[in-house]
Structure 1
Amino acid sequence: MTKIEEVKAKLEAGKAKLVPGLVQEALDEGNAVGDILQAMTDSMGVVGDKFSAGEIFVPEMLMAAKAMSKGVEVIKPLLTSTSTSSLGTCVIGTVQGDLHDIGKNLVTMMLESAGFNMIDLGVDVSTEKFIKAIKENENVTLVACSGLLTTTMSAMKETVQALKSSGLTGFKVIVGGAPVTQAMADEIGADGFAPDAGSATVKAKELVKA
């Protein structure tokens, strides 16, 4: 097993204490920073798929995300010097009227480790707060709106439509949460939809690079 394969295995197992050392060993062996980051991102994709399939649950997902962030800490100083370091700034929040944040926090960790500079607005975020954050932060390329209650889907629709009609440009809007579907995302005018944290990373990168 190569060092990168070890990193992937331990990350998927949520071994946050072991991952940083293995990442350092992989670097010492001469592996490229981008390859190590890609391997960790792929592992989180696997974890995300398992979570979606009901094979693992939130605690395991959080442990893997923590292992990922610990691994990223090791390579972060090296990332700033590469072009893969940032995909721009992502403003994320749970829409107004909704206080759920586990899913949002997972997505925040995943997107940060993928190279986004994250601005987390927390829960119960008003449309105005989203727009203010876009104006106040540089290079906002993505706005992520989360919602877990069916009752807050109208708030999500209002938020997306307000973002689209704000006159601000240069960013894509991604939505997610248990009741959200691709059909709903299309209907409310979002640029993208992700059913879980694993696929959110893939979709976010697609949107920003499109």
Structure 2
Amino acid sequence: MEELYIKLAHAVEFGKINKVSPYPPNLKGEDGADEITIQLLEKGAAAGDILSKALVLGMEKIGIKFRDNKVFVPQVLMSAKAMEGAMKHLKPFFSSGAAKRKGVFVIGTVEGDLHNIGKNLVSMMIEGNGYEVIDLGTDVKAESFIEAADKYPGSVIGLSSLLTTTMPNMEKIVKAIKANNENRRVCIGGAPVNQEFCDKIGADSYSQGPQGVVEYLNSIAS
């Protein structure tokens, strides 16, 4: 089965969704994440093992490449689609409690901002690394973040913003979340924000890209 784990990680890293997918050209006609996941399940592999030994590995590799500017958004999106092709077979096991996730990550784009590409990339990367992701969408108010945080005790909150005009909303939301529960961990990210702003508003972590969020979550989950 180890060979199948390696093949699945490779399929995710390079965005091979299924056998009929023409991308990437050098894997044309070969099984993709969809088929390989089915083969692993048929051989008795546990959903948690498929996640940790293959999907997490593949997403981690593409995440590091993206962080280092060796690949770009289209390649990451293809990897995410391959990951989703595998996850559709695994989600029933996680939903039933037969397999466990590392934790829960609640994410949304802050009030006044309708941009979602960055948020979606982070969501895909984090799910592929073994976490349950609760995506609240865009233009999310503080009350919605607090409601989700209360619903998922122990979850980490992620705030995204692309507009400088919504940075005050991000600050307001962070303070509201902390006022509700001072121990709730809050991550921020997006084009206009930086570590200085993170420190100023009392957030726990700033990441320039998706891989940084993954590394932060892994550091507090271990």
TM range (shorter): 0.7 to 0.9
CA separation in 2, counterparts of 1:200 and 1:87? 13
Residue 163 of structure 1, CA deviation: 1.0
Q: 2:145 aligns with which of 110, 122, 130?
A: 130
Q: 1:139 aligns with which of 137, 140, 153?
A: 153
Residue 23 (structure 1) aligned with residue 73 (structure 2)? no
Residue 31 of structure 1, CA deviation: 4.6
Is this contact kept in 2: 1:12–1:43, CA < 8 A? yes
Q: Kindly report structure 1 stretches of 4+ aligned residues shifted beyond 6 Å.
A: none
Is this contact kept in 2: 1:143–1:174, CA < 8 A? yes
Residue 49 of structure 1, CA deviation: 2.0
Which structure has the greater CA radius of gyration? 2
Q: 2:186 aligns with which of 159, 173, 178?
A: 173
Is this contact kept in 2: 1:141–1:170, CA < 8 A? no
CA separation in 1, counterparts of 2:58 and 2:212? 12
2:90 matched residue in structure 1: 75
Aligned length in residues: 205
CA separation in 2, counterparts of 1:19 and 1:64? 10
Q: 1:66 aligns with which of 81, 85, 109?
A: 81
2:25 matched residue in structure 1: none
RMSD over equivalenced CA pairs, Å: 2.4
Residue 102 of structure 1, CA deviation: 0.7
CA separation in 1, counterparts of 2:129 and 2:7? 19
Is this contact kept in 1: 2:161–2:167, CA < 8 A? yes
CA separation in 1, counterparts of 2:17 and 2:182? 38
Give the AA of the match of 1:124. Answer: D
Aligned to 1:148, the other structure's residue is in SS state: coil
State the percentage of identical aligned residues: 38
Is this contact kept in 2: 1:174–1:204, CA < 8 A? no
1:152 matched residue in structure 2: 166
Residue 68 of structure 1, CA deviation: 0.8
CA separation in 2, counterparts of 1:182 and 1:32? 39
CA separation in 1, counterparts of 2:144 and 2:46? 39
Residue 4 of structure 1, CA deviation: 1.4
Residue 30 of structure 1, CA deviation: 5.2
2:125 matched residue in structure 1: 110
Gaps of 5+ in 1: none
1:204 matched residue in structure 2: 217
Give the AA of the match of 1:152. Answer: T
Per-residue deviation, residues 158-198 of structure 1 (Å, max 9, x unmatched): 211121112x3663111111233233322221122222223
CA separation in 1, counterparts of 2:143 and 2:93? 36
Per-residue deviation, residues 6-48 of structure 1 (Å, max 9, x unmatched): 1111111111121021122234455554332123112212212
Is this contact kept in 2: 1:47–1:198, CA < 8 A? no
